[in-house]
Amino acid sequence: MTSREFLKVRPVKDVQDFIAALEPLGTEVISLENAHGRVVAETVIARDPVPHFRRATMDGYAVRSRDVFGASESLPAFLSIVGSVEMGKPSACTVGTNEACAIPTGGALPDGADAVVMVEHTERLDETTIEVYKPVAPGENVLGVGDDIPEGEQILQPGRALKPQDLGVLAAVGVTEVEVYKRPKVAIISTGDEIVPSKTPSPLPPGLIRDINTHVLASMVSEAGAVVGRKELIKDDPDALIDISRKCLEDHDVVLLSGGSSVGSRDYTLDVLEQLPDAEVLVHGVAMRPGKPTILGRSGKRYVWGLPGQPSSASMVMVAMVCPFLRALQGERPTFPYAAGTIIGRLCKPIPSVHGREDYIPVRVLDEDQVEPIFGKSGMIKTLAMADGYIIVPEHAEGMDTGEEVKVYLF
């Protein structure tokens, strides 16, 4: 139990820099239906302009603006109605001098016309004549060809995670397939002689605990846009661990091992890594708490993370490093600290001083942006479930006082 070796602890910043510089996995072409949230791997060019015809943006009459110049209530312009534009069809009529053509919002402007008079500014005198009470400028109430998206415009750049509205833009220009980065396939291996499947019924004998990490890690992996592959629960047996890790690395891009990354007799992650083909240990220890014993290694082009076994520590390492890592493999440039959003609040309890490492403290956001740090004995799962986000106490800080302003990184 006491065989210990020196952990070559790296600053968090080093790991973040490594993640930011990662090469994304390869790309694949997928249909627009499945593209929501995926990260674009190509520069998408509008091959057609949008709109590709002059479009009315109001219900009214297509006219030649010079014919209604100076029109007013007291001196209206009189125009002859020469037709009516139907939605979805090219206009059949041409608008000449002192002529007008009825047009609905979205209709194609007829030849000859250069503007649309809103129906509210007209009065229909009979079947063939309208009065116009207001002038319009050339182009008024008309979307010209390419006014929305010019032909040839770069509409999306690589690295953009596709939002619903982006899909709309792609659909508008007729792009129905898009090249995106592949999503990493992730195997999750939980280890520990004390861990039993979560479905094991009560009463559990003393010493055993239910598997928590598989559930927490799998949903975090999905949330980060990656695909959960194999989920394995195994005892602390180095041979079994090496065997299953090898198998997982055959068809997964990333293997997450939880448990067994701190130094001690039960800690085999490093042994496993060293026995994998083309193995390289990239990180062995990070100057953060929780998460100090985190390991990152590479086997060829595939990655292995060794995470703490304690669920609250493992989740914090996921948030701080593994989730942004998974996003980077999908071509997104993660920003650090990684968060769904941030809010500024004030501590309502002090945080004791720490040194030589970054402390990631789970916090709860109370009314009026009061921020409550959640402390708990090591290994508690509830502490993290209560948290809305986390704050970071920097490496050289002397702790933080009640009332101090803090930035909360939201989960």
- Of 68, 62, 65, whose CA–CA distance to 133 is shortest? 68
192 binds a copy of itself (CB under 8 A): yes
Burial tier of 8 (Cβ tally within 10 Å: 0-12, 13-18, 19+): exposed
Q: DSSP string covering 262-279, please?
A: SSSTT--HHHHHHHSTTE
SS3 140: coil
92 binds a copy of itself (CB under 8 A): no
Residue numbers 203-222 binding a copy of itself by CB under 8 A = 203-220, 222
Residue that is written with structure tokens 């003393």 in the block: 206
Q: DSSP string covering 290-313, please?
A: S-TT-EEEEETTEEEEEE-SSHHH
Based on C-alpha coordinates, what's the Rg of the chain? 31
One residue of 24, 51, 285, 324 binding a copy of itself per CB under 8 A: 51
Which positions from 357 to 376 touch a copy of itself by CB under 8 A, shown as an x/- string?
Answer: -------------------x
**Residue with Cβ nearer a copy of itself (19 or 169):** 169
How many Å apart are CA 364 and CA 382, to the nearest integer?
Answer: 12
102 binds a copy of itself (CB under 8 A): yes
Task: Dig out the tokens for 395 from the structure.
Answer: 């490496």
**Residue with Cβ nearer a copy of itself (50 or 363):** 50
* Minimal distance, residue 67 CB to a copy of itself, in Å: 21
* Minimal distance, residue 23 CB to a copy of itself, in Å: 27
Residue numbers 121-150 binding a copy of itself by CB under 8 A = 124, 143, 147-149
191 binds a copy of itself (CB under 8 A): no
Residue numbers 211-270 binding a copy of itself by CB under 8 A = 211-220, 222-223, 236, 264-266
How many Å apart are CA 223 and CA 240, to the nearest integer?
Answer: 29
Residue numbers 285-344 binding a copy of itself by CB under 8 A = 309, 311, 315, 340-343
**Residue with Cβ nearer a copy of itself (32 or 281):** 32
- List, in sequence order, every residue forming a beta bridge with 114; answer none if it has no partner: none
Which positions from 161 to 180 touch a copy of itself by CB under 8 A, shown as an x/- string?
Answer: --xxxxxxxxxxxx-x----
How many Å apart are CA 69 and CA 76, to the nearest integer?
Answer: 10
Query: Candidates 22-30, 200-208, 244-252, 289-297 — which segment interacts with a copy of itself by CB under 8 A?
Result: 200-208
* Minimal distance, residue 148 CB to a copy of itself, in Å: 5
Phi first, then psi, for residue 203 (nearest 5°) are -85, 140
